[in-house]
Chain A
Amino acid sequence: MARNLDHSRIQQMSSFEMLANQVVEGTITGLHKSPFHGFSVEFAEHRQYNSGESTRHIDWKLFGRTDKMFVKRFEEETNLRCRLILDCSSSMYFPKMNEPSFDNPNKIVFSIYAAAALMSLMKKQRDATGLSLFTDKINLHSHAKSNSVHIKYLFGELEKILDQKLLNEDQKTDIPNSLHQIAEMIHKRSLVIIFSDMFDDYDRADKLFQSLQHFRHYNHEVILFHVVDKKLEEDLHLEDRPYKLVDMESGEQLRINPSEIRERYAEMSAKIQHDLEMKCGRYNIDYVRADINKGFDGIILPYLLKRKKLH
Chain B
Amino acid sequence: MALELTDANFEELALKSDKPVIVDFWAVWCGPCRIVGPVVEEIGEEFAEKAVVGKLDVDHNPEIARKYGIRNIPTILFFKDGEVVDKQVGSVPKQVLVNKLESLM
Contacts and interface: CB of A to CB of B under 8 A. Distances in A.
A68 B74 CA distance: 15
B30 A46 contact: yes
A48 B72 contact: yes
A75 B90 contact: yes
A45 B29 contact: no
A68 B29 CA distance: 10
Contacts, number: 34
Interface size range on B against A: 10 to 19
A48 B32 CA distance: 14
B84 interface: no
B73 A46 contact: yes
Contacts of B30: 45-46, 70
A45 to B, nearest CB: 4
From B32, B89, B91, residue with most partner A Cβ within 10 Å: B32
A48 B66 CA distance: 12
Contact of B71 (A47, A65, A75): A47
A47 B72 contact: yes
Given A43-B32, A75-B91, 20 more contacts: A44-B32, A44-B90, A44-B91, A45-B73, A45-B90, A45-B91, A46-B30, A46-B31, A46-B32, A46-B33, A46-B72, A46-B73, A47-B71, A47-B72, A48-B71, A62-B29, A65-B29, A73-B72, A73-B90, A75-B90
14 contacts: A43-B32, A44-B32, A45-B30, A45-B73, A45-B74, A46-B27, A46-B31, A46-B32, A47-B72, A48-B71, A48-B72, A62-B29, A75-B90, A75-B91
Closest 7 CB pairs of A and B: A45-B90, A44-B90, A47-B72, A48-B71, A46-B30, A44-B91, A45-B32
